[in-house]
Amino acid sequence: MNVPFLDLKVQYKQIEHEVLPMVTEAMTNGAFIGGPQVLGFEKEFAEFCDSKYCAGLNSGTDALRFALMAVGVGPGDEVITVPNTFIATTEAISQSGATPVFVDIDKRTYNMDPQKLEDFLKKRLKPQTSNLKPTLKAVIPVHLYGQPADMDLILDIAQTHNIKVIEDACQAHGALYNNRKVGSFGSVGCFSFYPGKNLGAYGEGGAIVTQDEEIANKIRMIRDHGQAKKYFHDMEGYNGRLDAIQAGVLRIKLRRLSDWNQSRRENAAYYNELLSKIEGITLPVEADFANSVYHLYVILVDDREGLQQFLSDKGIGTGLHYPLPLHLQKAYAHLGYKNGSFPVTESVAKKLISLPMFPELTREQIEYVAESIKEFINR
Ligand SMILES: *Cc1c(COP(=O)(O)O)cnc(C)c1O
Protein backbone atom coordinates (compact mmCIF):
# COMPACT_ATOMS: atom_id res chain seq x y z
CA MET A 1 0.00 0.00 0.00
CA ASN A 2 1.06 3.57 -0.66
CA VAL A 3 -0.01 6.39 1.66
CA PRO A 4 1.06 9.84 0.45
CA PHE A 5 1.53 12.56 3.04
CA LEU A 6 -0.97 14.69 1.11
CA ASP A 7 -3.06 13.91 -1.97
CA LEU A 8 -4.52 16.93 -3.77
CA LYS A 9 -5.45 14.94 -6.86
CA VAL A 10 -8.28 12.91 -5.32
CA GLN A 11 -9.89 16.13 -4.12
CA TYR A 12 -9.59 17.76 -7.53
CA LYS A 13 -11.50 14.86 -9.11
CA GLN A 14 -14.50 15.68 -6.84
CA ILE A 15 -14.74 19.29 -8.01
CA GLU A 16 -13.34 19.17 -11.54
CA HIS A 17 -16.84 19.50 -13.02
CA GLU A 18 -17.19 22.89 -11.31
CA VAL A 19 -13.63 24.15 -11.63
CA LEU A 20 -13.19 23.74 -15.39
CA PRO A 21 -16.30 25.76 -16.43
CA MET A 22 -15.32 28.47 -13.93
CA VAL A 23 -11.84 28.75 -15.48
CA THR A 24 -13.30 28.78 -19.00
CA GLU A 25 -15.68 31.56 -18.02
CA ALA A 26 -12.89 33.66 -16.53
CA MET A 27 -10.80 33.22 -19.68
CA THR A 28 -13.74 34.05 -21.91
CA ASN A 29 -14.64 37.18 -19.97
CA GLY A 30 -11.03 38.27 -19.53
CA ALA A 31 -11.60 38.85 -15.79
CA PHE A 32 -8.39 37.94 -13.99
CA ILE A 33 -7.70 40.38 -11.16
CA GLY A 34 -10.39 41.47 -8.70
CA GLY A 35 -13.97 41.62 -9.97
CA PRO A 36 -17.08 39.71 -8.92
CA GLN A 37 -15.33 36.39 -8.10
CA VAL A 38 -13.03 38.11 -5.61
CA LEU A 39 -15.84 40.20 -4.10
CA GLY A 40 -18.03 37.12 -3.87
CA PHE A 41 -15.32 35.10 -2.18
CA GLU A 42 -14.55 37.91 0.28
CA LYS A 43 -18.20 38.11 1.33
CA GLU A 44 -18.51 34.33 1.74
CA PHE A 45 -15.21 33.90 3.57
CA ALA A 46 -15.94 36.77 6.00
CA GLU A 47 -19.24 35.06 6.81
CA PHE A 48 -17.55 31.69 7.20
CA CYS A 49 -15.07 33.24 9.67
CA ASP A 50 -17.72 34.98 11.84
CA SER A 51 -16.17 38.26 10.66
CA LYS A 52 -17.50 41.44 9.09
CA TYR A 53 -14.80 42.06 6.47
CA CYS A 54 -12.43 40.06 4.33
CA ALA A 55 -9.74 41.17 1.86
CA GLY A 56 -8.36 38.64 -0.61
CA LEU A 57 -4.57 38.73 -0.93
CA ASN A 58 -1.72 37.07 -2.75
CA SER A 59 -0.51 34.91 0.17
CA GLY A 60 -0.66 34.24 3.88
CA THR A 61 2.68 35.98 4.24
CA ASP A 62 1.16 39.13 2.71
CA ALA A 63 -1.81 38.77 5.05
CA LEU A 64 0.46 38.82 8.10
CA ARG A 65 2.67 41.60 6.77
CA PHE A 66 -0.22 43.85 5.73
CA ALA A 67 -2.05 43.16 9.01
CA LEU A 68 0.95 44.34 11.02
CA MET A 69 1.32 47.45 8.87
CA ALA A 70 -2.41 48.21 9.16
CA VAL A 71 -2.39 48.14 12.97
CA GLY A 72 0.58 50.51 13.01
CA VAL A 73 3.56 48.21 13.55
CA GLY A 74 6.74 49.59 12.01
CA PRO A 75 10.49 50.16 12.39
CA GLY A 76 11.73 50.04 15.95
CA ASP A 77 8.76 48.00 17.19
CA GLU A 78 8.77 44.46 18.51
CA VAL A 79 6.20 41.75 17.88
CA ILE A 80 5.86 38.63 20.00
CA THR A 81 5.24 35.18 18.58
CA VAL A 82 6.29 31.57 19.12
CA PRO A 83 9.49 29.93 17.83
CA ASN A 84 7.70 26.83 16.53
CA THR A 85 5.96 28.19 13.48
CA PHE A 86 6.65 28.51 9.78
CA ILE A 87 9.14 31.31 9.07
CA ALA A 88 6.47 33.36 7.25
CA THR A 89 5.17 34.50 10.66
CA THR A 90 8.48 36.09 11.57
CA GLU A 91 9.33 37.22 8.03
CA ALA A 92 6.16 39.31 8.12
CA ILE A 93 7.30 40.87 11.40
CA SER A 94 10.76 41.72 10.07
CA GLN A 95 9.40 42.97 6.75
CA SER A 96 7.02 45.33 8.51
CA GLY A 97 10.18 46.87 9.97
CA ALA A 98 9.75 45.36 13.43
CA THR A 99 11.77 42.72 15.31
CA PRO A 100 10.41 39.30 16.28
CA VAL A 101 10.61 38.27 19.93
CA PHE A 102 9.60 34.82 21.15
CA VAL A 103 7.80 33.19 24.04
CA ASP A 104 7.73 29.41 24.53
CA ILE A 105 4.81 27.06 23.91
CA ASP A 106 2.52 24.93 26.03
CA LYS A 107 3.82 21.36 26.26
CA ARG A 108 0.41 19.78 25.60
CA THR A 109 -0.97 21.86 22.72
CA TYR A 110 2.30 23.18 21.20
CA ASN A 111 0.64 26.60 20.95
CA MET A 112 1.64 29.83 22.69
CA ASP A 113 1.65 29.45 26.48
CA PRO A 114 -0.38 32.41 27.80
CA GLN A 115 1.40 32.24 31.16
CA LYS A 116 4.76 32.67 29.46
CA LEU A 117 3.38 35.58 27.45
CA GLU A 118 2.24 37.28 30.64
CA ASP A 119 5.52 36.62 32.47
CA PHE A 120 7.45 38.02 29.52
CA LEU A 121 5.35 41.18 29.30
CA LYS A 122 5.51 41.83 33.04
CA LYS A 123 9.26 41.45 33.08
CA ARG A 124 9.77 43.57 29.99
CA LEU A 125 7.42 46.42 30.72
CA LYS A 126 8.07 47.02 34.41
CA PRO A 127 11.43 48.78 34.54
CA GLN A 128 10.55 51.13 31.71
CA THR A 129 11.53 54.72 32.43
CA SER A 130 8.97 57.42 31.76
CA ASN A 131 10.13 58.84 28.42
CA LEU A 132 11.15 55.53 26.86
CA LYS A 133 8.90 54.70 23.93
CA PRO A 134 7.17 51.34 24.45
CA THR A 135 8.29 49.06 21.63
CA LEU A 136 6.13 45.96 22.12
CA LYS A 137 3.27 46.55 19.72
CA ALA A 138 1.62 43.25 18.92
CA VAL A 139 1.43 39.54 19.58
CA ILE A 140 0.84 36.88 16.92
CA PRO A 141 -0.59 33.65 18.33
CA VAL A 142 -0.35 30.87 15.72
CA HIS A 143 -3.18 28.31 15.55
CA LEU A 144 -0.68 25.61 14.76
CA TYR A 145 -1.64 22.32 13.09
CA GLY A 146 -5.27 23.53 13.00
CA GLN A 147 -5.74 23.89 16.76
CA PRO A 148 -6.70 27.31 18.18
CA ALA A 149 -4.38 29.00 20.65
CA ASP A 150 -5.92 29.99 23.99
CA MET A 151 -7.48 33.22 22.73
CA ASP A 152 -9.38 34.39 25.85
CA LEU A 153 -6.23 34.47 27.94
CA ILE A 154 -4.09 35.94 25.16
CA LEU A 155 -6.65 38.69 24.40
CA ASP A 156 -6.90 39.54 28.11
CA ILE A 157 -3.15 39.80 28.56
CA ALA A 158 -2.77 41.82 25.35
CA GLN A 159 -5.46 44.25 26.43
CA THR A 160 -3.88 44.71 29.85
CA HIS A 161 -0.57 45.59 28.24
CA ASN A 162 -2.10 47.57 25.39
CA ILE A 163 -0.76 45.50 22.52
CA LYS A 164 -2.60 44.33 19.39
CA VAL A 165 -3.44 40.71 18.60
CA ILE A 166 -2.95 39.41 15.06
CA GLU A 167 -3.99 35.78 14.56
CA ASP A 168 -1.92 33.53 12.31
CA ALA A 169 -4.75 31.26 11.20
CA CYS A 170 -2.89 30.03 8.10
CA GLN A 171 -3.29 26.41 9.26
CA ALA A 172 -6.72 26.71 10.85
CA HIS A 173 -9.50 27.64 8.40
CA GLY A 174 -12.73 26.80 10.20
CA ALA A 175 -11.23 25.84 13.56
CA LEU A 176 -13.37 26.79 16.55
CA TYR A 177 -12.36 28.39 19.83
CA ASN A 178 -15.31 28.04 22.22
CA ASN A 179 -17.61 27.64 19.23
CA ARG A 180 -16.41 30.70 17.37
CA LYS A 181 -14.22 30.63 14.26
CA VAL A 182 -10.55 31.56 14.60
CA GLY A 183 -9.51 34.72 12.82
CA SER A 184 -12.49 36.58 14.31
CA PHE A 185 -10.89 37.32 17.70
CA GLY A 186 -7.89 39.56 17.14
CA SER A 187 -7.62 42.90 15.34
CA VAL A 188 -6.91 40.86 12.20
CA GLY A 189 -7.05 37.16 11.29
CA CYS A 190 -4.59 35.99 8.62
CA PHE A 191 -5.14 33.06 6.26
CA SER A 192 -3.08 31.29 3.59
CA PHE A 193 -4.59 29.47 0.63
CA TYR A 194 -1.37 27.73 -0.35
CA PRO A 195 -2.51 24.54 -2.14
CA GLY A 196 -1.78 22.20 0.78
CA LYS A 197 -3.74 24.19 3.38
CA ASN A 198 -7.22 23.08 4.53
CA LEU A 199 -8.64 25.64 2.11
CA GLY A 200 -6.16 25.69 -0.75
CA ALA A 201 -6.12 27.53 -4.07
CA TYR A 202 -4.59 26.16 -7.28
CA GLY A 203 -1.73 28.60 -6.91
CA GLU A 204 -0.87 31.25 -4.32
CA GLY A 205 -3.52 33.00 -2.26
CA GLY A 206 -4.29 34.49 1.13
CA ALA A 207 -6.75 36.71 2.97
CA ILE A 208 -7.33 38.73 6.09
CA VAL A 209 -10.58 38.93 8.04
CA THR A 210 -11.43 41.64 10.55
CA GLN A 211 -14.35 43.24 12.37
CA ASP A 212 -12.83 46.70 11.79
CA GLU A 213 -13.80 48.55 8.60
CA GLU A 214 -10.88 50.95 8.83
CA ILE A 215 -8.35 48.10 9.00
CA ALA A 216 -10.06 46.33 6.08
CA ASN A 217 -9.87 49.47 3.95
CA LYS A 218 -6.26 50.08 4.87
CA ILE A 219 -5.29 46.55 3.86
CA ARG A 220 -7.23 46.89 0.58
CA MET A 221 -5.14 49.96 -0.10
CA ILE A 222 -1.84 48.30 0.86
CA ARG A 223 -2.54 45.31 -1.42
CA ASP A 224 -3.13 47.62 -4.38
CA HIS A 225 -0.11 49.98 -4.48
CA GLY A 226 -1.59 52.32 -1.89
CA GLN A 227 -4.25 53.43 -4.33
CA ALA A 228 -7.17 55.42 -2.98
CA LYS A 229 -8.55 55.34 -6.52
CA LYS A 230 -6.92 54.39 -9.80
CA TYR A 231 -3.52 56.14 -10.12
CA PHE A 232 -4.06 58.25 -6.99
CA HIS A 233 -1.78 56.88 -4.28
CA ASP A 234 -2.15 57.89 -0.64
CA MET A 235 0.89 55.79 0.22
CA GLU A 236 3.27 53.24 -1.24
CA GLY A 237 1.82 49.76 -1.09
CA TYR A 238 2.43 46.38 -2.65
CA ASN A 239 1.09 44.17 -5.40
CA GLY A 240 -0.68 41.73 -3.09
CA ARG A 241 -4.03 41.01 -4.70
CA LEU A 242 -5.95 37.75 -5.04
CA ASP A 243 -6.52 36.48 -8.61
CA ALA A 244 -10.09 35.99 -9.85
CA ILE A 245 -9.47 32.39 -10.91
CA GLN A 246 -8.06 31.53 -7.49
CA ALA A 247 -11.07 33.22 -5.86
CA GLY A 248 -13.31 31.08 -8.08
CA VAL A 249 -11.50 27.91 -6.96
CA LEU A 250 -11.75 28.99 -3.32
CA ARG A 251 -15.52 29.62 -3.60
CA ILE A 252 -16.05 26.12 -4.99
CA LYS A 253 -13.95 24.62 -2.19
CA LEU A 254 -15.36 26.79 0.61
CA ARG A 255 -18.78 25.18 0.14
CA ARG A 256 -17.19 21.83 1.03
CA LEU A 257 -14.71 22.98 3.66
CA SER A 258 -16.79 22.13 6.73
CA ASP A 259 -17.33 18.57 5.46
CA TRP A 260 -13.65 18.21 4.63
CA ASN A 261 -12.65 19.51 8.08
CA GLN A 262 -15.08 17.04 9.63
CA SER A 263 -13.41 14.20 7.68
CA ARG A 264 -10.01 15.35 8.98
CA ARG A 265 -11.40 15.23 12.53
CA GLU A 266 -12.70 11.70 11.96
CA ASN A 267 -9.34 10.64 10.55
CA ALA A 268 -7.60 12.12 13.61
CA ALA A 269 -10.01 10.29 15.94
CA TYR A 270 -9.27 7.00 14.15
CA TYR A 271 -5.51 7.59 14.39
CA ASN A 272 -5.98 8.35 18.11
CA GLU A 273 -7.93 5.15 18.64
CA LEU A 274 -5.37 2.94 16.92
CA LEU A 275 -2.22 4.67 18.15
CA SER A 276 -3.30 5.00 21.80
CA LYS A 277 -2.60 1.27 22.16
CA ILE A 278 1.07 1.79 21.28
CA GLU A 279 3.50 2.82 24.00
CA GLY A 280 6.31 5.32 23.51
CA ILE A 281 4.50 7.85 21.35
CA THR A 282 2.72 11.07 22.32
CA LEU A 283 -0.57 11.79 20.57
CA PRO A 284 -1.95 15.26 19.79
CA VAL A 285 -4.09 16.75 22.57
CA GLU A 286 -7.19 18.76 21.74
CA ALA A 287 -7.74 21.47 24.37
CA ASP A 288 -11.18 21.79 26.03
CA PHE A 289 -11.84 25.09 24.27
CA ALA A 290 -10.74 23.81 20.88
CA ASN A 291 -12.31 22.23 17.87
CA SER A 292 -9.20 21.52 15.79
CA VAL A 293 -9.33 21.15 12.00
CA TYR A 294 -6.18 18.96 11.93
CA HIS A 295 -4.29 20.66 9.17
CA LEU A 296 -1.57 18.33 10.43
CA TYR A 297 -1.65 15.26 12.65
CA VAL A 298 1.58 15.41 14.64
CA ILE A 299 2.90 12.80 17.06
CA LEU A 300 6.07 12.81 19.17
CA VAL A 301 8.46 9.88 19.16
CA ASP A 302 12.03 9.60 20.48
CA ASP A 303 13.61 8.13 17.34
CA ARG A 304 11.87 10.42 14.90
CA GLU A 305 14.45 9.99 12.10
CA GLY A 306 14.26 6.22 12.46
CA LEU A 307 10.47 6.22 12.23
CA GLN A 308 10.47 8.53 9.24
CA GLN A 309 12.86 6.24 7.34
CA PHE A 310 10.93 3.12 8.37
CA LEU A 311 7.62 4.60 7.16
CA SER A 312 9.20 5.85 3.97
CA ASP A 313 10.43 2.31 3.21
CA LYS A 314 6.83 1.16 3.62
CA GLY A 315 5.53 3.73 1.15
CA ILE A 316 4.19 6.13 3.76
CA GLY A 317 4.87 9.85 3.39
CA THR A 318 5.53 12.01 6.46
CA GLY A 319 6.60 15.59 7.18
CA LEU A 320 8.41 17.57 9.89
CA HIS A 321 6.68 20.75 11.08
CA TYR A 322 9.15 22.09 12.02
CA PRO A 323 12.53 20.40 12.59
CA LEU A 324 14.55 23.50 13.63
CA PRO A 325 12.88 26.18 15.80
CA LEU A 326 13.06 29.70 14.41
CA HIS A 327 15.22 31.07 17.23
CA LEU A 328 17.95 28.58 16.26
CA GLN A 329 17.80 29.30 12.51
CA LYS A 330 20.80 30.96 10.89
CA ALA A 331 18.45 33.68 9.61
CA TYR A 332 17.85 34.78 13.21
CA ALA A 333 21.34 34.44 14.66
CA HIS A 334 21.37 38.24 15.06
CA LEU A 335 18.49 38.05 17.56
CA GLY A 336 20.87 36.51 20.10
CA TYR A 337 18.88 33.48 21.22
CA LYS A 338 20.66 30.23 21.97
CA ASN A 339 20.13 26.54 22.58
CA GLY A 340 18.06 26.32 25.75
CA SER A 341 16.24 29.64 25.23
CA PHE A 342 12.91 27.84 24.66
CA PRO A 343 13.13 24.34 26.13
CA VAL A 344 9.59 23.18 25.32
CA THR A 345 9.83 24.15 21.67
CA GLU A 346 13.30 22.62 21.39
CA SER A 347 12.26 19.32 22.93
CA VAL A 348 9.12 19.05 20.76
CA ALA A 349 11.07 19.94 17.59
CA LYS A 350 13.40 16.96 18.12
CA LYS A 351 10.58 14.43 18.39
CA LEU A 352 7.74 15.64 16.15
CA ILE A 353 6.62 13.89 12.98
CA SER A 354 3.52 14.63 10.89
CA LEU A 355 1.57 11.59 9.65
CA PRO A 356 -0.46 11.53 6.42
CA MET A 357 -3.51 13.76 6.85
CA PHE A 358 -6.10 14.89 4.31
CA PRO A 359 -9.89 14.51 4.15
CA GLU A 360 -9.91 11.66 1.63
CA LEU A 361 -7.55 9.41 3.63
CA THR A 362 -9.22 5.97 3.90
CA ARG A 363 -9.64 3.84 7.03
CA GLU A 364 -7.44 1.19 5.40
CA GLN A 365 -4.69 3.74 4.88
CA ILE A 366 -4.90 4.90 8.51
CA GLU A 367 -4.81 1.27 9.69
CA TYR A 368 -1.74 0.61 7.54
CA VAL A 369 0.06 3.67 8.98
CA ALA A 370 -0.83 2.67 12.56
CA GLU A 371 0.25 -0.96 11.98
CA SER A 372 3.54 0.22 10.54
CA ILE A 373 4.22 2.50 13.52
CA LYS A 374 3.48 -0.40 15.86
CA GLU A 375 5.91 -2.60 13.94
CA PHE A 376 8.59 0.10 14.24
CA ILE A 377 8.10 0.56 18.00
CA ASN A 378 8.16 -3.22 18.65
CA ARG A 379 11.01 -4.03 16.25
C1 LIG B 1 1.47 28.59 5.29
C2 LIG B 1 1.73 29.44 6.45
C3 LIG B 1 2.01 30.82 6.33
C4 LIG B 1 2.28 31.50 5.02
O5 LIG B 1 1.37 31.36 4.03
P6 LIG B 1 1.78 31.55 2.49
O7 LIG B 1 0.46 31.62 1.80
O8 LIG B 1 2.58 30.35 2.09
O9 LIG B 1 2.54 32.82 2.36
C10 LIG B 1 2.14 31.55 7.49
N11 LIG B 1 2.03 30.98 8.71
C12 LIG B 1 1.79 29.67 8.86
C13 LIG B 1 1.67 29.11 10.24
C14 LIG B 1 1.65 28.85 7.75
O15 LIG B 1 1.44 27.55 7.91
* pLDDT at position 53: 98
CA dihedral 155, 156, 162, 167 (to 10 degrees): -10
Q: Is the CB of 85 under 6 A from ligand 1?
A: yes
Ligand 1, atom 5, lies closest to the CA of 60
Q: How far is the CA of 277 from the centre of ligand 1 (A)?
A: 34
pTM, entire model = 0.97
Dump pLDDT digits (tens) for 157-211: 999 999 999 999 999 999 999 999 999 999 999 999 999 999 999 999 999 999 9
374's enclosing H/E stretch is helix 363-377
Dump pLDDT digits (tens) for 77-112: 999 999 999 999 999 999 999 999 999 999 999 999
Instruction: Indicate whether 323 pLDDT > 90.
Output: yes
Instruction: Indicate whether 130 pLDDT > 90.
Output: no
* pLDDT at position 128: 55
Q: Is the CB of 192 under 6 A from ligand 1?
A: yes
pLDDT band at 31 (very low <50, low <70, confident <90, very high): confident
Dump pLDDT digits (tens) for 197-247: 999 999 999 999 999 999 999 999 999 999 988 999 999 999 999 999 999
Q: How far is the CA of 196 from the centre of ligand 1 (A)?
A: 10
* pLDDT at position 228: 87
- What count of other Cβ atoms lies within 10 Å of the Cβ of residue 306? 12
| Whether 54 contacts 208, CB under 8 Å | yes
Ligand 1 pocket check: which of 144, 192, 298, 321 to mutate, most ligand atoms within 8 Å of Cβ?
A: 192
- What count of other Cβ atoms lies within 10 Å of the Cβ of residue 297? 25
**Given the CA of residue 206, which atom of ligand 1 is nearest to it?**
7
| Whether 146 contacts 267, CB under 8 Å | no
Q: Per the omega criterion (within 30 degrees of 0), is the bond before 270 cis?
A: no
Q: How far is the CA of 208 from the centre of ligand 1 (A)?
A: 12
**Given the CA of residue 205, which atom of ligand 1 is nearest to it?**
7
Q: Is the CB of 145 under 6 A from ligand 1?
A: no
* pLDDT at position 124: 80
Q: How far is the CA of 171 from the centre of ligand 1 (A)?
A: 7
Ligand 1, atom 10, lies closest to the CA of 88
- With vertex at residue 71, the alpha carbon angle to CA 66 and CA 73, rounded to the nearest 5 degrees, is 80
Q: How far is the CA of 239 from the centre of ligand 1 (A)?
A: 18
Q: Is the CB of 198 under 6 A from ligand 1?
A: no
Q: Which of 185, 201, 172, 175 is nearest to 86 (CA)?
A: 172
Dump pLDDT digits (tens) for 271-312: 999 999 999 999 999 999 999 999 999 999 999 999 999 999
pLDDT band at 131 (very low <50, low <70, confident <90, very high): low
Cα–Cα separations (whole angstroms), residue 239 to 116, 208, 243, 263: 37, 15, 11, 36
User: Could you give the CA distance from residue 268 to residue 308 in angstroms, rounded to a whole number?
Assistant: 19
**Given the CA of residue 193, which atom of ligand 1 is nearest to it?**
7
Q: 76 in helix, strand or coil?
A: coil
Ligand 1 pocket check: which of 89, 90, 182, 357 to mutate, most ligand atoms within 8 Å of Cβ?
A: 89
**Given the CA of residue 92, which atom of ligand 1 is nearest to it?**
10
